Amino acid sequence: MTFRKCGFIVALTLAFAATPLLINTVEAKVTKGQASVAKRSGKLYITQRQYDKALEQYMIAVEGRPDDSEAQYYLGWLYGQKELFEEMNEHYDLATDRKWKKKVAEDRKELWTRYYNLGVKGMNAQKFEFAVDQFNLAITINPKEADAYEGLAITFLNVGNSEEGIETYKKALELDPSKAQSYFNVGGALMNADRVEEALEMFKKGHAIDPEEINILQNLAIAQYRLGDKEGASESAEKALAIAGDDPKILNIAAQIFLQAENYEKAAEILEKVVAIQPDNMDALFNLAIAYRQLGKGDKALDLFQKSVESNPDDIDSWYQLGLLADKVESFDKAIEAFTKVTELQADNARAWAALSRVYARKSEVSEGDVAEECVKKATEAFQMYEALQSQSNEE
């Protein structure tokens, strides 16, 4: 019995292996008549919302009649219902008759809008993973629409994925190079990634599209400044001032650019406007004092630095600048007060100890008796402190 059983199994296996060969040789193609029947059946199944069965019938229909735009359209539509958008597009692209091409365009627009809006809602709700999925679906539905790429790029940037964000934004710009805001956004991302030269080109393109857009102009000026183009930065700052000359933010940026360009008169003129609008703007007061100092208006600069430290007694930079300026105009006691305050606020500030030593030494030269002797002593102590800090820094 065992022998017969083995023989039976072998025979069954051989018969099974041979079966596909017979099927392949006799398999028939779908006829046009069968395709027509399948299309009618598919349409009926759609009305009954039996989409899986409808899909089977339309697959038969397009196999028998691949040039039937209606069948290709409905097969694409059914794939769309299942969110199989690559397959949908494959069959939508084969619906070449005018009527069905129009319906394809309408369907794609409706689907694209649905998933794009879902992406925007997800991004606004900070559900970034969901937003990425929705924008990608919108892109699959219509890869020629720039806005979905832009939404995806902004989402990437929001989650700190700068590289993906920048590259995706570039795709959006390839599809639609007409939006100044897009150039501004990608330029900002490039600036954050310290790719300043590329950012500059983006800001230039955005400015060419919308010369009056103040945000582009101010960032254009900043990029030029960071790249050492003082002349270009000054020119852009002038344009920004012509558009928004009463905006303290624009005024401050322009003033900083003119300070760096060593145009102290222009910087002072601008900063005086800022201080008039914002009397408590310590940054503006500080920069205006620097401009005054460079213009030889030491007394006015001293008054401003004094206001700065009175408003913010813990501002180390203002105390230090006050000391430098007081030293320059030989107001030694005020300089000593300022540098001493820096060392009290920051005991390891080596440059303040060095400056304090220098001021005491200079005061000793114009003093006599006990005062001069005390200044020499203080100068020596301050210099020793400076040397100790420098030695400690070198060891680290």
R_g over Cα of the chain: 38
Contacts of 312 (CB under 8 A, 6+ apart): 282, 318
CB atoms within 10 A of CB 144: 10
- CA–CA distance, 75 with 302 (Å, rounded to integer): 81
Structure tokens at 279: 């009397």
Asked if residue 240 lies in contact with residue 215, where contact means CB atoms within 8 angstroms, the answer is no
Q: How far is CA 77 from CA 64, 90, 104, in A?
A: 19, 11, 8
Among 166, 172, 256, 242, smallest CA distance to 211 is for 242
Contacts of 93 (CB under 8 A, 6+ apart): none
- CA–CA distance, 356 with 339 (Å, rounded to integer): 6
Structure tokens at 259: 């300070």
Q: Write down the residue that tokens 């199989």 correspond to.
A: 84
- Structure confidence by residue, pLDDT tens digits, 104-160: 999 999 999 999 999 999 999 999 999 999 999 999 999 999 999 999 999 999 999
- CA–CA distance, 199 with 227 (Å, rounded to integer): 11
Q: Is 178 exposed, middle or buried (0-12, 13-18, 19+ CB in 10 A)?
A: exposed
- The domains spanning 27-96 and 301-396 adopt the same CATH topology: yes
Among 30, 68, 63, 61, smallest CA distance to 44 is for 61
Among 303, 290, 366, smallest CA distance to 330 is for 366
- Structure confidence by residue, pLDDT tens digits, 74-88: 999 999 999 999 999
Q: Domain limits of the chain?
A: 27-96, 301-396
CB atoms within 10 A of CB 167: 14
The CATH number that domain 301-396 falls under is: 1.25.40.10
Asked if residue 334 lies in contact with residue 302, where contact means CB atoms within 8 angstroms, the answer is yes
Cα 378 to the chain's mean position, in Å? Answer: 52
| E runs forming strands in 79-191 | none
CB atoms within 10 A of CB 215: 18
pLDDT in tens, the chain (396 residues): 343 333 322 332 323 333 333 334 344 588 888 989 999 999 999 999 999 999 999 999 999 999 999 999 999 999 999 999 999 999 999 999 999 999 999 999 999 999 999 999 999 999 999 999 999 999 999 999 999 999 999 999 999 999 999 999 999 999 999 999 999 999 999 999 999 999 999 999 999 999 999 999 999 999 999 999 989 999 999 999 999 888 888 998 899 899 988 899 999 999 999 988 987 787 787 788 888 888 888 788 788 778 878 888 998 988 998 898 788 778 899 999 999 999 999 999 999 999 999 999 999 999 999 999 999 999 999 999 999 999 888 776
- SS3 label, residue 161: coil
Residue 28 pLDDT = 55
- CA–CA distance, 222 with 235 (Å, rounded to integer): 11
Helical packing angle, 162-175 and 180-192, nearest 10°:
160
Q: Does the predicted model carry a pTM greater than 0.75?
A: no
Fold (topology level) of 27-96: 1.25.40
